Amino acid sequence: MSVNSLGAQERPQVLVVDDHPTTRKLMSAWLELSGYPVSQAEDGIRAWSAAQFDCPPIVVTDWNMPEMSGLELCRSIRRKLCNEDVYILVATSRDSGDDLSEAMAAGANDFLSKPIQEDEFLARIQNAENAIRQLQMKTELAEVDGLTGLLNRRSFLERSEAALEVTKQLGQPTSCLMMDIDLFKQFNDQYGHAMGDDVLRLVASIIKETSQNREIAGRLGGDEFCILLSEYDENEAILYADRLRKLIIDRSSELIGPHAVVRTTIGVSPFTAECRTITDLLELSDRALLSAKNEGRDRTQS
């Protein structure tokens, strides 16, 4: 589902399904003129094939179509794809109260009577877009740490577990990095909690800046950050950790001043035969972190 990637100015993709070419083309033209990316399907079967591959966030479908009706398409998206996030609008010349109930029971979000008027159609589509944006916000709020914008503990663990399964199957290395800010309580006491928050945001922004597709980063709580590094062996992970620590020292000095440089300690662990799950891997990097702290902080240790 593409809600996760919908930018503020970006219109969501709409799939228009209708076996009547004139109606399908008319709806598509209205949408395109309003800036919506549109894909078209001339019947339910073709729409279902497209939806299984990559279901757009909004589907507008006719009801009566040969072989697979609009309502069968609704049921398939909801039950076979288990996708509750797609907004489905049924546009039909059937307009009794029973028809409306039947469409809703099949999983439609909205119902539009034919012949369709442009203003009403676009208003309903705007309504669908609003619903999708709200869903996107809720999803982000549930997954992301509010202060830093990194993943929260729960979603970090979920995503890391999935990524770990992939690299395990492909036989690629994976490493994990656990980072803690040195003497952060003391920092808060000296410079204030608001400045402490700035430091947490700074650390997160450096992590985001230095990571791309192979890294999953989360704030596990307080001043503790964790990064799962897919396709990194132990040495590559240590190099990455040292680069992060140096950037944090440099940037915090620019942000606050050379008297208040922020230093961090990082524990690194590779995924080895002795760990089976993401929790085992995190435990290993946590142990490495503890050992690095006991050695005097401000270092990376594996």
Q: Which of the stretches 135-143, 196-204, 228-236, 247-255 binds ligand GH3 when contact is defined by CB under 6 A? A: 196-204
**Residue among 76 and 264 whose Cβ is closer to ligand GH3:** 264
Contact 39, 47 (CB under 8 A): no
- Determine if 188 is a binding residue for ligand GH3 (CB under 6 A): yes
**Residue among 136 and 300 whose Cβ is closer to ligand GH3:** 300
- Determine if 196 is a binding residue for ligand GH3 (CB under 6 A): yes
**Residue nearest ligand GH3, CB atom distance:** 196
Q: Which of the stretches 15-23, 115-123, 174-182, 240-248 binds ligand GH3 when contact is defined by CB under 6 A? A: 174-182
* Nearest-approach distance from CB 131 to ligand GH3, in angstroms: 32
* Angle, CA of 131, 77 and 98, to the nearest 5°: 75
# of chain residues touching ligand GH3 (CB under 6 A): 17
Query: Which tokens hold the place of 140?
Result: 């982000």
In 3D space, the residue among 249, 175, 243, 178 whose CA is nearest the CA of residue 209 turns out to be 243
- Rounded distance between C-alpha atoms, residue 285 and residue 266, angstroms: 8
Which helix (DSSP H) or strand (DSSP E) does residue 226 occupy?
Answer: strand 224-230
CA-CA distances (angstroms) from residue 192 to 63, 105, 197?
A: 62, 55, 9
Spell out, one character per residue from 7 to 36, where the chain touches ligand GH3: x when CB under 6 A holds, - when not: ------------------------------
**Residue among 37 and 222 whose Cβ is closer to ligand GH3:** 222
Interface residue with ligand GH3 among 118, 197, 209, 295 (CB under 6 A) is 197
**Residue among 36 and 225 whose Cβ is closer to ligand GH3:** 225
- Rounded distance between C-alpha atoms, residue 135 and residue 85, angstroms: 8
- Rounded distance between C-alpha atoms, residue 65 and residue 79, angstroms: 20
**Residue among 184 and 233 whose Cβ is closer to ligand GH3:** 184
Spell out, one character per residue from 212 to 231, where the chain touches ligand GH3: x when CB under 6 A holds, - when not: ----------xx--------
- Rounded distance between C-alpha atoms, residue 28 and residue 33, angstroms: 9
The residues with which 218 forms a beta bridge, in sequence order, are 151, 226
- Rounded distance between C-alpha atoms, residue 268 and residue 287, angstroms: 9
Give the footprint of ligand GH3 on this chain (CB under 6 A). 147, 180-186, 188, 193, 196-197, 200, 222-223, 293, 297
